[in-house]
Amino acid sequence: MSYKVEAVPDSYAALGEGPHWDVDRQSLYYVDLESAGINRYDFKQNKVYKAKIEGEIFASFILPVENKPQEFAVGCGLRTVIVQWDGVSAVAKVTRTLFEVQPDLKENRLNDAKTDPNGRFYGGTMAASGDIFTQWKGELYSWQAGGQPNAIRSKVGISNGLAWDVKAKKFYFIDTNNHEVLAYDYNQSTGAVSNPKVIFDLRKIRPEGPLFPDGMTVDTDGNIYVATFNGGTVFKVNPSTGKILLEIKIPTTQITSVAFGGPNLDILYVTTANKFDQPKPAGTTFQVTGLNAKGYAGVNLKI
């Protein structure tokens, strides 16, 4: 099968993360994590709009808010805040805090977060200083409107990829530091997850050492797509067998996350990073076409 990898124009982010396809605006939202940057790639205009969140250091994720076209939930440190942004201006502002986690662990920060198919929040934390790959101070949470954050998992290293398969009744989760993908049983009506099992192990794929799994998505056939932070590759995997179906090669090493988008939801958008002075095109967002697969659009957060 032949696929094509192309750079999205002017899409650079030093630590690109959190791609989210918004159907209503036919736009891909993503963040520049360590500079409080939020970005919107307008598909029709083939143009990226970039903003910085005033007074913040981090923007770990960006989730459009249901029925509020200029409001977004963004991870800023340990707070999930509501940010006002028109999708065009170069500055965005925090209007309020939705909730906070681990308030006593100031050296931690939120990392990846997404909405489940019902618009609930799922996301987690990680250490923000020292050797982040050898610390397990994070937690994974769920949250829904009117409630408090609910800890799903403790002793998390780097809380990362999240994906749901409603047909299989599964929730997939990546803790980067464990080099594996977990599958939980998922109850869509309550949001509860249980019985985690390892379904994909990235320790032995490369002879030079373990790969670090990062962001993740699923397609409509139930396959998962796993970005590798030190592998230059997105793996398409059958989660029932753990078999690699395809290695999607990206022309830079630090692959951070993936999301399907485009008018037909058949373009795989891939964010990357430029940490520790990588050569170009590190930090570019790419689009992969010709995969003969479709995914699911991002879901707005219900608050």
Q: Binding site residues for a divalent metal cation, as ranges?
A: 17, 160, 214
Binding site membership: which residues?
A: 17, 109, 111, 160, 214
CA distance 210 to 178: 10
Residue in 234, 250, 212, 251 with CA at minimum distance from that of residue 132: 212
**DSSP secondary structure letters along 165-196:** ETTTTEEEEEEGGGTEEEEEEE-TTT--EEEE
Residues in the chain: 303
CA distance 152 to 101: 13
Contacts within 8 Å (CB) and 24+ apart, 223-226: 223/293, 224/163, 224/172, 224/181, 224/200, 225/258, 225/268, 226/161, 226/174, 226/181, 226/200, 226/202, 226/258
- Residues that are catalytic: 214
CA distance 186 to 172: 9
Binding site membership for substrate: which residues?
A: 109, 111
The distance from CA 50 to its chain's CA centroid, rounded to whole angstroms, is 18
Q: In what side-by-side order are the strands of the sheet with 4-7?
A: 4-7, 286-289, 267-272, 255-261
Write a three-state SS string for 47-92: EEEEEEECCCCCCCCEEEECCEEEEEEEEECCEEEEEECCCCCCEE
CA distance 303 to 212: 33
